[in-house]
Amino acid sequence: MGVNDLQVLRESLVAVPVEPVIEIRPALSDGHSVFRVETSRAPQFIDVTQVVSDLLALSQMRNGVAVVTSQHTTASIKVNENEPELLRDMEEFLCRIAPPERYYRHNDFSIRTVNVEEDECPNAHSHCQHLLLSASESVPVLNGRLHLGKWQRIFLIELDRPRPRDVVVSFLKSS
């Protein structure tokens, strides 16, 4: 990837900030909540810290661990800093590591026969990017609050394409 390619990529990642639509879903059971996020592009870092904090308050848990989990293999959960230029740098990094335009056998529907949906689109790059990230993060809860560092935020990271994403938050109480 040359300097001009990186500049084009950087400019394409700059989008007008749009607040994602976040919908709280019915609780799965005691100690487990679900919310849905409508993503608008990929890659996209969506700060979900306030949603997790609000769900923690509703749970009334004082001490323990909040486990935040993406229900998808092409969307991740990570803790990092919410600084706009850093987010753009991280989006560019993901695109350089596993570019969408590269050949992937997973995207070759003439040879792939397993787990193929009717509306399947090429998305191997997003699975490869997910290898570097994770499906969940565990955050300590002390005195009813998420115990994050000064700059730490919880992100849902869209790696594939705009779509609804479900996130489960499990609150594990300390004994």
Q: Quick: pLDDT tens for 42-80.
A: 999 999 999 999 999 999 999 999 999 999 999 999 999
Output the pTM of the full model.
0.86
- Residue by residue, DSSP assigns 145-158 as EE---TTEEEEEEE
Peptide bond into 164 cis (omega under 30): no
- DSSP 3-state of 97: helix
Q: Quick: pLDDT tens for 114-153.
A: 988 888 889 999 999 999 999 999 999 999 999 999 999 9
- DSSP 3-state of 107: helix
What are the Cα distances from residue 69, in Å, to 157, 167, 175?
Answer: 11, 6, 22
- CATH superfamily label, 24-101+123-173: YjbQ-like (2.60.120.460)
Interacting residues of 52 by C-beta distance below 8 A, sequence separation 6+ = 66, 68, 139, 146, 154, 169
User: Would you list the domain boundaries of the chain?
Assistant: 24-101+123-173
